[in-house]
Structure 1
Amino acid sequence: MTASLLPDRARIFVAGHRGLVGSAVARRLTADGHRVLTRTRAELDLRDAARTAEVLRELRPDALVLAAARVGGILANSTHPVQFIEENLQIQLSVIAGAHAAGVRRLLFLGSSCIYPRLAAQPITEDALLGGPLEPTNRAYALAKIAGIVQVQSYRQQYGASYISAMPTNLYGPGDNFDLETSHVLPALIRRFHEARKAGQGEVVLWGSGTPRREFLHVDDLASACALLLRAYDGDDPVNVGCGADLTIRELAETVAEVTGFTGRIAWDTGKPDGTPRKLLDVSRLTALGWSPAVPLRDGIAGTYAAWRGHSAG
């Protein structure tokens, strides 16, 4: 058996530990016996490069997972592209450079499947990166994440750093963002259908045509993949993380309506943008390491809905 790249009971700093991804990664690493190190936003602004480097030198973690990011759906990306490119670049430059300066041996940078060309061949392999134009509605965010990949690769090339990157597909799960102005599609659908059912509405109007195809992965499955990559992967190329199957937004909406108990009509506003037509990841590089997802989509949606209702008392 190949030796693990991560020591047992490692000290691992999780940047962004209160977010959807970071909290799931922190839970998984803790369950695996590691000591998770964190700082709140009030304690450490990750955009502050000098302070970030100082904190990492004080903590001296064995590894770091960079899950902190400015994220959002089509509306948020289209409305605030400046914040999406600038804040993500600031965080990445600060944390990755600070980790190197502090002598952090292992680093996992988490990007997004939106880094790939809008019309990439399906399923999308990692070598599709920079092979064509990006989706215009999230280009600023995608470019920031591409810069993060290149930064990681540059530290590997110039300093021999054991830094890696992973590109998750669309994620969801407990702790997701349900704000209709800034959320991604799945939590937005959950909230829309829940509120429509409670109000007795007979129709919900959704953006676009419903025809784009999307892949969805439960955040706990991403966390298990991150734990494996920290132990077992040390390559230059990013690694796709997904379930290997997709469905149309229309099919997703029908599933969410069923889970939330909405029985009215679903209408589509085709004057609104669809985004990328299809975005299915080739996950063969990850599955070759022995990983597979464990949470079926409908079960995951039901669990996410239950968690949100419990939190919001809705």
Structure 2
Amino acid sequence: MASLWTLQTVLLFLVLSAAAAEVLPERSGLALIRHKRDWIWNSLYVEEEKPAPTPYKIGQLKSTLRVEVKRFSIDGEGANSIFTVDNKGDLFVTRSLDREEKSVYHLSAKMYDGNNQVVEDSGGFEVIVNDINDNLPVFPKGFNGSVLERAAVGTKVVVVKATDADDTNTANGELRYSLLRGGDGKFQIDDISGMVTCSRADLDRESVAQYLLVVRAQDMRGKPSGSTATATVTVTVTDINDNIASFSSNTMEVSVPEDHKLSEVMTTLRLEDRDQRQNKVPRIFITGEYSRMFHVQVDSEKNGNLMLRQVIW
């Protein structure tokens, strides 16, 4: 019974040992044991554009292993050039970094004992470059929009957008829009989306056919400390049929021979209409007893041609 108990104890020990360690291939007659990685770190951070006349420390590589560490090494992006490590595990940055050029560096590290043997295998970590507000908002060259005259309040005119190379997940890259001038109070802009809409319903093409607006984009969520950019927005008011046609003269005398043909124009009745030609839709009638003798046809210029309906004898 004692022997059986001893055998069970040995087997349990072997199972637990196998779960905690992995036997590596034999090297020079020695079987190495790879321990569970015990690196202690979170992501390391660097402020972009921070001057580095001399290398400065950003963190330390540590492990929970209770061994005397004599040396560290690092590999990966910027290892041993942008980033260096000393024998204490202190990690240094050697130059100023630009987040817009590269925002995250991926590296790995190893620890060595006094016999130059690896005691903590390669463990990956990141160096994240923290953003600063070092970029201005940028607009394209300009924007053009159009809207029908008499359009209702809230009618969309155009969307303006600027870009900012700073981190859009921080206030440095979050833009707010505002309308600086132009438009006579007839337009408004959404501060987040940049959508320009009508704020009044009295746009009149015959009075003002085009507006020039100046819009501003400001980072830092629009705070006074934010950087700004401006752009011009050209808004064209398009025509609708909102004007009444009238004759250019209240009276007119026309003389025609008695043998005037039915298909020939007797005279043209000139019309005045402030709308554009495509929106002029005049309808001209002759009333009274002469309606059986005369009629009016609208020509391509939207004027009225007086015609005979029946022959004069």
Shorter-chain-normalised TM-score: which range?
under 0.3
Q: Which has the higher contact order (CA 8 A, sep 6+)?
A: 1
Q: Which structure has the highest strand share of the two?
A: 2
Query: TM-score when scaled to structure 2?
Result: 0.22
TM-score, normalisation: structure 1: 0.22
